[in-house]
């Protein structure tokens, strides 16, 4: 597959993630339904193809490819740039996914796309492509709630039947449990998402955004030892991160740890082990690594705490972590300890599934499609605000 | 799945006879039934074991802060005549762990005899879901009226709490109890067999704080409203009654309710990814 040229951004780095197969490649026949999922609510565009056999055997992933728009260190991604990125990639990715899945257009049953929540411009870019394909090929159009996509994919991959879901990403932070055909939100952030808090602190420290800021914070945090005092904000089952971000940003400013210069020094020091050991003895001031470590320890403790409250409240022993921040190993570890102490277990997925992808949209869309749901063209506009509990979960009976 | 074993009890509760009986594992801690001084005086023991998932420094700081905060709030509320369990004893240094090291903190409180509101509403809703069609209009009205009255009493109790200058911070129907009345007439009279009688007692002040700010009070109401909406769908339409009971409880209630309506907390909750947050580098 050839990569499209995108010009205009000097540090346009492209991370092409190849697809993978789940289970065996199955022969094409009419005994199954096929959905294309198109996701583009933030800086990733993902196209996935799912097959649902009609005999009731487990659904299969036929293709899952994704391309990420990465902004330079110290900057976030601008909606207009992300939208341009998505527009440039969408056709290639759809073609690539169809080729990889060995599926012809005729076999496809429905086109599923993210209708919200997310950033407006990127959502629109992908929605336009989905509408176009639906009209061009004469396929049913299914608008999918992004959060529900995450939940359904997590349930499928992990086999968790009725878990308390912690959905944590750059745009969302919610604790969700299912009850009478709704995914109900038990707790959520009162201001910014946990991933947004991490991303923005990464900008303060000029940490690389490749592959994503949270990953690099996690790596830096592994060298951290000292816990600095940060606000810890849990209100009932809700959390708040903006005060923590303000506190740690000002701490970084006071200690002179932010900015490009320090980021470069850090990188140099990492390559020179001897110097590191000398530096450590010199004083007790917190380092950049200590700040990352403290930020992680604090915000993840808050997340685990509200998840535990929700588990206690609904009497569930399963936890499912979804969303980009869900790939953080420290969060998974902390959640594991909490669940173990409650006699339960944690279900988490790896980057392929918990970071935004197309198959989750295909999966949730297919479930809706099978329950008779359709999105008429006139209702196919996307929205930045789309609550998880607005979706009628018709495909679940329990 | 491994059978769950609670952590060892801190001294002196590891050697009392009869041994404390584990009632619930809440999110924050374990609740035991034990006795105070004499086996004939029942008491509730709340143990906040250390949370191994947290960093030890953070864990100590939070546990210590919260148990002291909780005890202070309860002591103040008892003084103000609000219906909460009284404090009998506490240990915030947590010296009773393995080899007398850090083992979390504990708080011993007055024993409240009665059901949790959550169970009462659940039982009622389960019965109604199954049998509501067999009731005639008058009976249905009467059943609804009972729940409405209960919600109104809860609103009033919450008002009393706020009037005393404390906010609960974690109001769910699991944290409300009904003190068993001397004589229960309702359970027999109602076809549901569920009684809503008894004084409303507020429990679990683990996240409580002393505050008279409208915003904090409104958050209490908001959290409770949402907890009822998510766990008791059939009772949710009667939320108005709770608000009503609250409004009549004290003078500050009106401005709190106004704050709730103006929604400082996201009543139509946030879609956190707004454009400015996404692309403006912070600071």
What pairs with residue B210 in β-bridges? B166
> Could you give the dihedral angle defined by the CA atoms of residues B261, B262, B265 and B266, in that order, rounded to the nearest 10 degrees?
80
Whose tokens are 């809860």? That residue is B154
pLDDT at A13: 34
Token couple for B252: 């500050």
Tell me the average confidence (pLDDT) per consecutive run of 10 residues in chain A, 398 residues long: 43 40 45 94 96 91 95 91 96 96 95 95 97 96 96 94 94 93 93 96 92 94 94 89 96 88 76 52 80 97 94 89 94 95 90 91 96 95 92 91
- Omega of the bond leading into B12 within 30 degrees of 0 (cis): yes
pLDDT at A11: 34
The domain B21-110 is placed in CATH, from the list 3.40.50.720, 3.40.50.2300, 3.30.200.20, 2.130.10.10, at: 3.30.200.20
Q: Return the beta strands (E) in chain A as ranges.
A: 13-17, 32-39, 44-53, 60-70, 110-116, 140-145, 164-168, 173-179, 182-188, 234-235, 238-239, 318-322, 345-348
The 3-class secondary structure across chain B, one letter per residue, is CCCCCCCCCCCCCCCCCCCCEEEEECCCCEEEEEECCCCCCEEEEEEECCCCCCCHHHHHHHHHHHHHHHHHHHHHHHHCCCCCCCEEEEECCCCCCHHHCCCCEEEEEECCCCCEHHHHHHHHHHHHHHHHHHCCHHHHHHHHHHHHHHHHHHHHHHHHHHHCCEECCCCCHHHEEEECCCCCCHHHHCCCCCCCCCEEEECCCCCCEECCCHHHHHHHHHHHHHHHHHHCCCCHHHHHHHHHHHHHHCCCHHHHHHHHHHCCCCCCCCCCCCHHHHHCCCC
pLDDT at B192: 82
| A387/A115 Cα distance (integer angstroms) | 11
Which chain B residue is nearest to residue A247, measuring alpha carbons? B283
**Residues of chain A found within 8 Å of residue B278, distances taken between Cβ atoms:** 76-79, 119, 171, 196
Q: What are the φ/ψ torsions at residue B21 (nearest 5 degrees)?
A: -105, 125
pLDDT at B280: 32
| B154/B160 Cα distance (integer angstroms) | 10
Task: Band the pLDDT of B239: cuts 50, 70, 90.
Answer: confident
Straight-line distance from the first to the last Cα atom of chain A, in angstroms, rounded to the nearest whole number: 44
pLDDT at B182: 79
Task: Band the pLDDT of B10: cuts 50, 70, 90.
Answer: confident
Q: How near does any CA of chain B get to the CA of A342, in Å?
A: 6
Alpha-carbon distances of A257 from A285, A286, B147, B167, rounded to whole Å: 11, 9, 57, 38
| B153/A13 Cα distance (integer angstroms) | 61
**Residues of chain B found within 8 Å of residue A245, distances taken between Cβ atoms:** 282
A338–B51: do the CB atoms touch at under 8 Å?
Answer: yes
Token couple for B31: 């609740």
- Contact indicator for B46, B106 with CB cutoff of 8 Å: yes
pLDDT at B101: 62
pLDDT at A283: 67
| B20/B102 Cα distance (integer angstroms) | 20
Task: Band the pLDDT of B97: cuts 50, 70, 90.
Answer: low
pLDDT at A26: 43
Token couple for A137: 């090929």
- Contact indicator for A4, A92 with CB cutoff of 8 Å: yes
Give the least confident one: A17-26, A339-348, B30-39, B89-98: A17-26
Token couple for A357: 């992808």
Please, what is the average pLDDT of chain B? Answer: 82
Question: In sequence order, what are the residues at sequence separation of 6 or more whose Cβ sits closer than 8 angstroms to the Cβ of residue A274?
Answer: none
Whether B5 shows a pLDDT value over 80: the answer reads no
pLDDT at B24: 79
Whether B129 shows a pLDDT value over 90: the answer reads no
What pairs with residue A313 in β-bridges? none
- Put simply, the chain B residues between 1 and 40 with a CB less than 8 A from any chain A CB are 1-4, 7, 25-28
Task: Band the pLDDT of B279: cuts 50, 70, 90.
Answer: very low
Q: Which of B222, B212, B232 is nearest to B263 (CA)?
A: B222
Question: In sequence order, what are the residues at sequence separation of 6 or more whose Cβ sits closer than 8 angstroms to the Cβ of residue A80?
Answer: A121
Q: Which residue has the higher pLDDT, B20 or A216?
A: A216
% of chain B surpassing 70 pLDDT: 87
Whether B137 shows a pLDDT value over 90: the answer reads no
pLDDT at B281: 32
Active site residues of B: 170
Average pLDDT, integer, range B97-117:
80
pLDDT at B98: 59
Count the alpha carbons within 13 Å of A68 in the hemisphere toward its beta carbon.
19
pTM of the model: 0.79
Task: Band the pLDDT of B82: cuts 50, 70, 90.
Answer: very high
Mutation choice for B interface testing from A341, A344, A390 by most B CBs within 10 A: A341
B3–A118: do the CB atoms touch at under 8 Å?
Answer: no
Quote the DSSP letter at residue A73.
T
pLDDT at B165: 92
Q: How near does any CA of chain A get to the CA of B201, in Å?
A: 19
- The CATH superfamily assigned to B117-262 is Transferase(Phosphotransferase) domain 1 (1.10.510.10)
Domain boundaries, chain B: 21-110, 117-262
A120–B62: do the CB atoms touch at under 8 Å?
Answer: no
Average pLDDT, integer, range B68-97:
88
**Residues of chain B found within 8 Å of residue A172, distances taken between Cβ atoms:** 272-273
Q: How near does any CA of chain B get to the CA of A255, in Å?
A: 15
* Domains of chain A listed by start with CATH number: 13-158+354-390 (3.30.420.40), 164-259+287-350 (3.30.420.40)
Q: How near does any CA of chain B get to the CA of A217, in Å?
A: 16
Looking at the predicted complex, does its ipTM rise above 0.85? no
Q: What are the φ/ψ torsions at residue A290 (nearest 5 degrees)?
A: -60, -40
């Amino acid at each position: 597959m050839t990569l499209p040229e995108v010009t205009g951004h000097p540090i346009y780095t492209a991370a092409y993630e190849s697809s993978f197969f789940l289970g065996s490649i199955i022969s094409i026949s009419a005994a199954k339904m096929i959905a294309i999922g198109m996701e583009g609510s933030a800086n990733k565009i993902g196209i996935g193809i799912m097959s649902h056999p009609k005999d009731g055997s487990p659904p299969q992933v036929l293709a899952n490819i994704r391309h990420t728009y990465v902004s330079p260190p110290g900057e976030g991604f601008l909606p207009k740039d992300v939208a341009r990125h998505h527009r440039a990639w969408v056709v290639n990715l759809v073609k690539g996914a169809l080729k990889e899945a060995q599926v012809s257009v005729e076999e496809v049953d429905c086109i599923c796309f993210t209708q919200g929540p997310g950033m407006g411009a990127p959502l629109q870019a992908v929605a336009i492509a989905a509408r176009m394909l639906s009209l061009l090929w004469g396929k049913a159009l299914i608008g999918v709630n992004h959060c529900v996509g995450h939940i359904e994919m997590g349930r499928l991959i992990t086999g968790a039947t009725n878990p308390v879901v912690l959905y944590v990403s750059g745009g969302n932070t919610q604790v969700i449990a299912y009850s009478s055909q709704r995914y109900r939100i038990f707790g959520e952030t009162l201001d910014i998402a946990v991933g947004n808090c991490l991303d923005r602190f990464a900008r303060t420290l000029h940490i690389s955004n490749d592959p994503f800021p949270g990953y690099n914070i996690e790596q830096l945090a592994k060298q951290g030892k000292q816990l600095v005092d940060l606000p810890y904000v849990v209100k009932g089952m809700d959390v708040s991160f903006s005060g923590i971000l303000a506190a740690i940003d000002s701490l970084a400013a006071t200690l002179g740890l932010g900015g490009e210069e320090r980021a470069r020094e850090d990188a140099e020091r990492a390559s020179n082990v001897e110097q590191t050991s000398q530096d450590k003895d010199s004083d007790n001031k917190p380092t950049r690594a200590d700040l990352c470590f403290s930020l992680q320890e604090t915000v993840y403790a808050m997340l685990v705490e509200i998840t535990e409250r929700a588990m206690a409240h609904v009497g569930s022993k399963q936890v499912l972590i979804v969303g980009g921040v869900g790939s953080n190993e420290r969060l998974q570890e902390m959640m594991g300890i909490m669940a173990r102490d409650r006699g339960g277990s944690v279900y988490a997925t790896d980057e392929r599934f918990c970071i935004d992808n197309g198959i989750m949209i295909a999966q949730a869309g297919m479930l809706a499609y099978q329950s008779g749901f359709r999105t008429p063209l006139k209702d196919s506009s996307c929205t930045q605000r789309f609550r998880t509990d607005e979706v009628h979960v018709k495909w679940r009976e329990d | 799945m491994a059978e769950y074993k609670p952590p060892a009890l801190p001294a002196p509760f590891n050697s009392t006879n009869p041994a404390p009986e584990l009632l619930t594992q809440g999110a924050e801690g374990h609740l035991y039934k034990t006795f105070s001084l004499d086996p004939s005086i029942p008491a509730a023991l709340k143990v906040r074991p250390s949370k191994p998932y947290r960093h030890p420094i953070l864990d100590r700081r939070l546990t210590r802060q919260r148990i002291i905060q909780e005890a202070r709030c309860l002591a103040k509320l008892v003084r103000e005549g609000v219906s909460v369990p009284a404090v009998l004893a506490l240990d915030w240094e947590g010296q009773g762990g393995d080899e007398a090291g850090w083992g979390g903190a504990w708080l011993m409180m007055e024993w409240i005899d009665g059901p949790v509101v959550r169970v009462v509403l659940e039982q009622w809703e389960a019965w109604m879901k199954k049998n509501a069609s067999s009731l005639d209009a008058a009976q249905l009205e009467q059943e609804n009226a009972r729940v409405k009255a209960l919600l109104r009493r809860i609103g009033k109790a919450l008002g009393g709490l706020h009037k005393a200058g404390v906010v609960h911070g974690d109001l769910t129907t699991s944290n409300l109890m009904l003190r068993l009345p001397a004589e229960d007439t309702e359970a027999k009279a109602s076809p549901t067999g569920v009684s809503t009688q008894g004084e409303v007692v507020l429990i679990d002040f683990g996240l409580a704080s002393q505050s008279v700010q409208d915003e904090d009070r409104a958050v209490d109401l908001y959290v409770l409203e949402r907890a009822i909406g998510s766990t008791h769908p059939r009772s949710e339409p009667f939320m108005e009654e709770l608000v009503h009971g609250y409004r009549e409880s004290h003078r500050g209630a009106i401005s709190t309710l106004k704050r709730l309506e103006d929604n400082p907390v996201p009543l139509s909750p946030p879609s956190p990814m707004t454009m400015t947050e996404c692309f403006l580098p912070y600071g």
